[in-house]
Chain A
Amino acid sequence: MWSAFANPHKFLKFSAVAAPLFYGAGALCILWGLWQGLWIVPKDEYQGGDIMRVMFIHVPAAWLAMASYSALAVASFVWFIWRHELADIAAKAIAPLGAVWTALCLATGAIWGKPTWGTWWQWDDARMMSVLFLLFLFLGYMALRASMDSRQKAARAGAILAMVGAINVPLIKFSVDLFTSLHQPASVITADGPKMAAVYLTPLLISGLGHGLLFGGLVMTHMRTEIRQRRIARLTAQALEG
């Protein structure tokens, strides 16, 4: 019955080393990317002048938003099939962090949009819409977990919802693309990697890597906290039982 805790133990050992490494490497990558993005690369007048430099946060945030929902879905799936407690701990840790990066993506998108499009919010930009719905998926997931009265129920309910959300994401994406394509978008952001000049691409990729490492480190720290909280709860319960 307690055998599932063999692996969390290994995880604690591994993450004690890995998390600080992730933080350090992530900080280096992000700082280098920002330095390149803010001071070194030339500004692109077509994309709004200096304001386009927000791209070096906005685009990694968008990548992280999508990657974190995928990670949430995978962790939920693993938990649902194998009931591995560590997978649930990971899912619980990923959700709020994913929501933060998703919100960051929306906020930086709006900041970039105001000077270039003249509006904070562009309804016919498919990416903004998709990311907004991604944020709703994260919020729904967190609200559902929070309203369950035990961690076991939170894990089960969360896993069901994350999987339902994941199979709906392609459909949502497709419908939003269709919606916006009919509204003739005047999209200026062409942040699709290969189309981009190499001068932007390298700092962008390094920034993305940095955000990924920072995210990974934070997930590990959250997971370590959660593992210990569950251990405390377990020990308290055992002590109360005598």
Chain B
Amino acid sequence: MTVSTAPLLSASGLAILRGERVLFRGIGLKLLPGEAIVLRGANGAGKTTLLRMLAGLTRPEAGEIARPAPHHWIGHKEGIKPQETPCSHLALWAKAWGSSANIPEILEKMALTRAADVPGRYLSAGQRRRTAFARLLLEDRPLWLLDEPYTALDAAGKTLLDQVISGHLRTNGAIIASMHDTAGFPVTTEVTL
């Protein structure tokens, strides 16, 4: 990845209404390569909404978002169909994104080799999370948006994820993650909603 100092994402003056309630307003962010921003806030503060807004899924009531770099999105819901296995899920998205990544290698890295051919409806919550995170490795994209990444992961899973994220940050990637726990990777900024 080429080293540059142009922001991978910048946002200013973001505001959102939920019903008639102002969930937040005047939120601004700037994310440079190699940086990690962690969003904090109580349940219902709008962390997920802000992340979805940054990903372009939710339309802000006001404000601007510039996202010049391609991004990965890992939401609360993993996006795995009941009939999909981790292997076929990754194969599908590799096709959709035009990636030629080595899927068995990625499965092994995420410790999913044994579950590789288990259909989604039989996967445990942690296995589903790992499968979703495996998508991060399918294609090299500088910006990762992660919604509560630690949810449902066991200790080994958390360590694994921390390694993946730290590696991404070292290679000038950047992440924004909403979290309740202490992060196991170097955090640049914390934003409290």
Q: Do chains A and B touch in the complex (CB under 8 A)?
A: yes
- Residue numbers of A with Cβ under 8 A of B are 1, 150-152, 230, 233-234, 236-238, 240-241
Q: With A1-B61, A1-B62 in contact, is A240–B21 under 8 Å at CB?
A: yes
Instruction: Give me 15 A-to-B residue pairs in the complex whose CB atoms sit less than 8 angstroms apart, sorted by A's number.
Output: A1-B15, A1-B25, A1-B61, A1-B62, A150-B18, A151-B19, A151-B20, A152-B17, A230-B20, A234-B20, A237-B20, A237-B21, A240-B21, A241-B21, A241-B22
Task: Name the residue on B nearest A234 (C-beta).
Answer: B20
Q: Please give, as numbers and ranges, the residues of chain A lying within 8 Å of B15 by CB-CB distance.
A: 1
Whole-angstrom CA separation of A230 from B21 in the bound complex: 11
> Bound complex: CA of A151 vs CA of B61, how far in Å?
13
Within 8 A of A (CB), among B58-117: 61-62
Give chain A residues whose Cβ lies under 8 Å from the Cβ of B18.
150
* Assembly CA distance A240 to B20 (angstroms): 11
Chain B residues with a Cβ under 8 A of chain A: 15, 17-22, 25, 61-62
Question: 4 smallest A-B Cβ distances: which pairs?
Answer: A233-B20, A237-B21, A237-B20, A234-B20
Residues of B within 8 A of A238 (CB): 22
Query: What number of residue pairs across chains A and B have CB atoms under 8 A from each other?
Result: 22
| Smallest beta-carbon distance B170→chain A, Å | 40
CB distance from B78 to the nearest CB of A (A): 23
> Closest CB of chain B to A36's CB: distance in Å?
48
Most interface-central of B18, B20, B25 (chain A CB within 10 A): B20
Once the chains bind, are A236 and B22 in contact (CB under 8 Å)?
no
| Interchain nearest-CB distance for B124 vs A (Å) | 31
Give chain B residues whose Cβ lies under 8 Å from the Cβ of A230: 20
User: Distance in Å from the Cβ of A230 to the closest Cβ of chain B?
Assistant: 7
Distance to closest chain B CB from A136 (angstroms): 30
A147 to chain B, nearest CB (A): 16
CA distance A151 to B62 in the complex (A): 17
A5 to chain B, nearest CB (A): 12
A237–B61 CA distance with the chains assembled, in angstroms: 16
User: Once the chains bind, are A237 and B62 in contact (CB under 8 Å)?
Assistant: no
**Contact A233–B61 (Cβ < 8 Å):** no
- Complex CA gap A238/B19 in Å reads 12
Find the B residue at minimum CB distance from A151. Answer: B19
Contact present for A233 and B19 (CB under 8 Å): yes
